[in-house]
Chain A
């Protein structure tokens, strides 16, 4: 059974710092990995999608990498801002079970202080 783990569970940094959020998964047989952002009391906003054949994706100050063989992904946030404060979730789409059936980690709660 695919399991997804996110470390750390919570992270507090000063504004301007570069940071890395980690996501690991137990089974490398995946279609895709997706990073989401969730603000308190809100829904999930898709940040980046990495197909299994890709190594990384970039959007603005965000860069996500994927090492499928080791079961790891990282989300790099450059020059963090208070507006980046949110919970970040990663989810994988496992092969063999239907690519629309996402398996989620429990998230990293990020606080960026001014």
Chain B
């Protein structure tokens, strides 16, 4: 019963490096999202996807890129890492039924430090 799987769990980057955070879900959910969690600020939406091939920006998209080629996978790319991107990143997937009941499921997070 995997649910939402994120890799890696921890990562240290140097300023200017790029990397991809991986997210995969096995629940056949249409919707996937990336959030970052910073102390005192709660979780904030970075990018989201409503289905394969469709992505859009959230509240804090600058410096990040996403794509959704399959229903299962939703990778998050850091183009040129900056210390301000030090954070914990969470991937989520969700579904919606006919009465718009929607429930989100989260991965275990990736703790990223940019030095």
CA distance A51 to B33 in the complex (A): 20
CB proximity of A6 to chain B, nearest CB, Å: 9
CA distance A103 to B99 in the complex (A): 20
CA distance A101 to B34 in the complex (A): 10
Given A98-B50, A101-B48, do A43 and B42 touch, yes or no (CB 8 Å)? no
- Specify which chain A residues have a CB less than 8 angstroms from the CB of B43 in the assembled complex: 89, 91, 102, 104
Is B96 on the interface with A (CB-CB < 8 A)? yes
Interface residues of A (CB under 8 A from B): 4, 31-32, 34, 36, 41-46, 49, 51, 89, 91, 93, 98-102, 104-107
- Partner pick for B101 among A32, A45, A100, CB 8 A cutoff: A32
CA distance A106 to B92 in the complex (A): 18
Given A51-B99, A99-B96, A100-B104, do A44 and B90 touch, yes or no (CB 8 Å)? yes
* Contact (Cβ within 8 A) B103 A100: no
Given A31-B102, A100-B96, do A106 and B108 touch, yes or no (CB 8 Å)? no
Interface positions, chain B 46-104, Cβ under 8 Å from A, are: 48, 50, 58, 90, 92, 94, 96, 99-104
A-B contact pairs, 13 of them (CB 8 A): A32-B101, A43-B106, A46-B103, A46-B105, A51-B100, A51-B101, A99-B96, A100-B48, A100-B104, A101-B33, A104-B35, A104-B43, A104-B44
CA distance A34 to B95 in the complex (A): 14
CB proximity of B105 to chain A, nearest CB, Å: 6
Given A34-B103, A46-B104, do A98 and B48 touch, yes or no (CB 8 Å)? yes
A-B pairs, top 5 by smallest CB distance, nearest first, are A100-B31, A44-B106, A43-B108, A104-B42, A104-B43
CA distance A31 to B104 in the complex (A): 13
- Partner pick for B45 among A42, A45, A102, A106, CB 8 A cutoff: A102
CB proximity of A57 to chain B, nearest CB, Å: 11
- Specify which chain B residues have a CB less than 8 angstroms from the CB of A102 in the assembled complex: 33, 35, 43, 45, 92, 104
